[in-house]
Structure 1
Amino acid sequence: DKKVTLELGGKGANIVFDDAPIDQAVEGIVTGIFFNQGQVCCAGSRLLVQESIHDELLDSLKRRLSTLRLGDPLDKNTDIGAINSAEQLARISSLVEQGEAEGAERWSPSCELPSSGYWFAPTLFTNVTQAHTVARDEIFGPVLSVLTFRTPDEAVAKANNSQYGLSAGIWTEKGSRILAVASKLRAGVIWSNTFNKFDPTSPFGGYKESGYGREGGRHGLEAYLDV
C-alpha cells in the first residue's frame, strides 16, 4: 500500500469587493498572477471584481502593469523574467489567441521584450465570461482573466465554477465577509487581503483536479507516517 500526495494545477480566483483597499489589492493582484511569470500553480489567474469598482480597479491595475520591467531574472530590478521553454511560450500564445478569437478583450502595456529568449508581455483579458477558455484552462503564464460580480453569492459561485480548487484570495475591509465567503470557497488555500504568502506550518493543497493530500504542517507529514 503506497501513500501519495499530488499538488497539481489551479485557476485561482482573486475576489475584490467594493470596500477593498484598491492600491493594496492591485499589488496583491500583480503578485498573484505575475510572480514567476504566472508559472505558479496557485497563481491568482482569475480576477473577480465587484461591478461598482471594476473601472477604477482596472485603471489602477493597468497603470501598475505599465511600470513592470521585463528582463534578466538575475537582475534585482526585473519584475518579470522569461518563460521557461519554447513549448510553454507556444502554449501561452495559443491560449491567448483563443481568448481573442472567443471575444475577450486583450490588453498589454507597451513594453520592450528582450531580443533573445522566450518572452511574453503581461496580459489582461476583460469582457471575459465563465465560458471563455481563458477563464477555465490553466494558462501557466503572465495572463489574467477579469470577470465581474454583483453579490457575494455570485462571487462564490463564479470562483467555485472550476475543475480546479487550489487557491483563492478575498479583498475586503469586513472580517465577517472574509469568514463568510472563505467558508463557501472550495479552495485549499484562501488568503485575505494578501496573496501567495506561505507559512511552512500551514497545510497546502487543493480540491478537485488541484491535487490530493496536503503538504506542509502536520497534515503534510501524515502521508509519510504509518502508525
Structure 2
Amino acid sequence: MNILTGAGDTGRAIVAHPDVDKVAFTGSTEVGRMIAKTVAGTDKRVTLELGGKAANIVFDDAPVDQAVEGIVNGIFFNQGHVCCAGSRLLVQESVAEEVLERLKRRMATLRLGDPLDKNTDVGAINSAEQLAKIRELSDVGDAEGAERWSPACDLPAKGFWFPPTVFTGVSQAHRIAREEIFGPVLSVLTFRTPAEAVEKANNTPFGLSAGIWTDKGSRILWVADQLRAGVVWANTFNKFDPTSPFGGYKESGYGREGGRHGLEGYLR
C-alpha cells in the first residue's frame, strides 16, 4: 500500500494516470464532477461519495430528549465537517417549540476549544477558506430573513472558530436550506404531515443520508421508503456498520462503501 499526500494536483495526477484502474473519491460534488469528466471514455471504474444536505425529521411522537442528542450529534460532530451531517432539521409544527427550546438548552452546554482535548465538543474549523464560506452562507441566511441563534460562548483567539448556530424561520427557497455549508450550522424547517416532511426532505439536489425520529415503526418504514437518500437512520444518527453499504443518490455520488456492495466497485 502506498500513501501519497498532497492537494488537488496530486489527486488529479492519480485519477488521470493510465495505470490506475479504479478511482474511489470522497469529497465535494464539484471535484466529483471533475473526476467523472476525467475518467469518461476510459475503462476506469469510479465510485464517488460526495456532498450532502441531510434531513433530520422529528415527528410529534418522537422521544424528544433522544432526538435532541441525535440532532446535536448530527450537525455539530466534527464541527459539521461531515458529508452526511444532519444540517436540515424538519420538525413537526406541534412540537417545534418544545424541540427548539430543548435544543438550545443543550447547545448552551457544548464546549468549544482544543480539538485534542477530550472534553471538547466543538473544535476549530479546518481552514480560513472554509470559515469564510461558513460566514458567507450564514450572512446570506440573515439577509434572507431567517433568525440566527448561537449560545453565548467565548471563541479562542487562536485558530478558525465558528459557534454552533441554528437558523429558524427557514424556507425551502433559502440558500442555507439548499447548499452544503459544511460547518456547525443547522437550518430548521417545520411540517404538518408525513407527506409534507418527505416532500421537503427530498427537495434537494443531494441524497446521501437522512434521519427519522418517531415512536411508530410503520411510519419509520413508510417514510424511509419514500426518502431519496442512500442511508436512512431511525431514532439515531451517524451510526455505521462496516458490513452495511454507505453511499448516496443524485449529487451525493454513486457507488457504495462498506459491505459486499462496497467490494463490487473493485471487482470485474
Q: What's the TM-score bracket when you normalise by the shorter of the two chains?
A: over 0.9
Paired position in structure 2 for 1:78: 120
Q: Tell me how far apart the structure 2 counterparts of residues 3 and 222 of structure 1 sit (CA, whole Å).
A: 11
Structure 2: segments with no counterpart, 5+ residues:
1-42
Q: In the TM superposition, what is the alpha-carbon distance from 1:212 to its structure 2 partner?
A: 1.1
Say which structure, 1 or 2, has more relative contact order (CA 8 Å, 6+ apart). Answer: 1
Report Cα offsets for 1:85-132 as digits up to 9, x if no partner. Answer: 000000000000000001000000000100110000000000000000
Q: Tell me how far apart the structure 2 counterparts of residues 126 and 191 of structure 1 sit (CA, whole Å).
A: 23
- Give the counterpart letter for 1:72 in structure 2: D
Which SS does the other structure have where 1:106 is aligned? strand
Query: Who wins on radius of gyration, i.e. which is larger?
Result: 2
Paired position in structure 2 for 1:194: 236
Paired position in structure 2 for 1:20: 62
Q: Tell me how far apart the structure 2 counterparts of residues 4 and 99 of structure 1 sit (CA, whole Å).
A: 36
TM-score by length of 2: 0.84
Q: Tell me how far apart the structure 1 counterparts of residues 116 and 140 of structure 2 sit (CA, whole Å).
A: 32
Q: Tell me how far apart the structure 1 counterparts of residues 155 and 232 of structure 2 sit (CA, whole Å).
A: 34
2:129 is the alignment partner of 1:87:
yes
Kindly report which structure 2 residues correspond to 1:106-117, keeping only aligned pairs within 5 A, or say none: 106-117=148-159
Q: Tell me how far apart the structure 1 counterparts of residues 163 and 51 of structure 2 sit (CA, whole Å).
A: 22
Q: In the TM superposition, what is the alpha-carbon distance from 1:134 to its structure 2 partner?
A: 0.3
Paired position in structure 1 for 2:252: 210
Q: Tell me how far apart the structure 1 counterparts of residues 107 and 62 of structure 2 sit (CA, whole Å).
A: 19
Q: Tell me how far apart the structure 2 counterparts of residues 16 and 212 of structure 1 sit (CA, whole Å).
A: 27
TM-score by length of 1: 0.99
Query: For 1:166, which of 208, 232, 236 is the aligned residue?
Result: 208
CA RMSD of aligned residues (A): 0.3
Corresponding pairs, count: 226
Q: In the TM superposition, what is the alpha-carbon distance from 1:74 to its structure 2 partner?
A: 0.8
Structure 1 consecutive aligned stretches of length 4 or more whose deviation exceeds 4 Å: none
Q: Tell me how far apart the structure 1 counterparts of residues 265 and 103 of structure 2 sit (CA, whole Å).
A: 41
Q: Tell me how far apart the structure 1 counterparts of residues 182 and 210 of structure 2 sit (CA, whole Å).
A: 16
Q: Tell me how far apart the structure 2 counterparts of residues 213 and 77 of structure 1 sit (CA, whole Å).
A: 36
Paired position in structure 1 for 2:94: 52
